[in-house]
Amino acid sequence: MNDDDRTGWQQAFIARVEQRTARMRSLYLRSALARHMAGQYVDVRLTAPDGYQARRSYSIASAPGADAIELAVELLDDGEVSAWFHDVAQAGDTIEVRGPLGGHFIWHTEQPGPILLVAGGSGVVPLVSIVRAWRQAGAPVPALLLHSARAWDSLAYRDDMRAIADAHANFGYVATVTRGGQEGADHARRIDRAMVDEALARLARAPSTCYVCGSNGFVETAAQLLVAAGIPSRTVRTERYGG
């Protein structure tokens, strides 16, 4: 049985909306969906008055067991669904959801460590869920998140991740920006071999699992850098979106 067969569409109530960056909003949903695992996603379906339907998949940012499922939606220039979430959706609205889905890009407390997380732009969303689940589990293994975005203001969840890093000595958060000024970021360039080597050195021992999420090009490049740095390809899990 595949993911699409596992569960049907259900109503979800938007409990609240939070602006994360200029182009990303978090929507907190309450529904009867089953408890998700860190790294999973849901399908969302919108239906217009004339019957036209549009469906998209969005990663879950919240930790398993949270009071509400947090979806973080990035506004796309040609995105009809993302535009609705940014321009129309508000607390009190109801949408259709299906899930949770995905069984490969997940983390659970029984997994050995360390873990290395590499995100490009909005690809940080499922990794935030993993970090939150890791914290919820008592920070059982060393972990590090390497996050790349165009600009300092585009680094979604940066304050949350830095707060977790401040509270847990075995968690590291490294931010890099590829355009504009460096501001509070650790680097001002694309993720490269030197940055990967630095992240691996901070983990002290080789990661048991690496999670890479972002655009197709970002994921391809990041995965190649990890393998070139000596990480076995079988330990690299990837999640990608178009662009």
Q: What does the domain layout of the chain look like in residue ranges?
A: 3-101, 115-241
One fold for 3-101 and 115-241: no
Q: What pTM value is reported for the model?
A: 0.94
Walk along the chain (243 residues) and give the pLDDT tens digit of each residue. 344 445 699 999 999 999 999 999 999 999 989 999 999 999 999 998 898 999 999 999 999 999 999 999 999 988 889 999 999 999 999 999 999 999 999 999 999 989 999 999 999 999 999 999 999 999 999 999 999 999 999 999 999 999 999 999 999 999 999 997 888 999 999 999 999 999 999 998 999 999 999 999 999 999 999 999 999 999 999 999 864
Fold of the domain built from segment(s) 115-241:
Rossmann fold (3.40.50)
Q: Find, among 71, 64, 67, 57, the residue nearest to 156 by Cα.
A: 71
Q: Report the relative pairing of strands 69-74 and 24-31 from DSSP bridges.
A: antiparallel
**Which CATH number is 3-101's, of 3.20.20.150, 2.60.120.10, 3.40.50.11030, 2.40.30.10?**
2.40.30.10
Determine the Cα–Cα distance for residues 38 and 110; give it in Å rounded to an integer.
Answer: 13
The one-letter amino acid code at 92 reads G
pLDDT at residue 7, as a whole number: 62
Residue pair 171/128 in contact (Cβ under 8 Å)? The answer is no
> Cα separations (Å) of 185 from 138, 147, 148, 173?
27, 10, 9, 10
- In the DSSP assignment, the letter for residue 34 is P
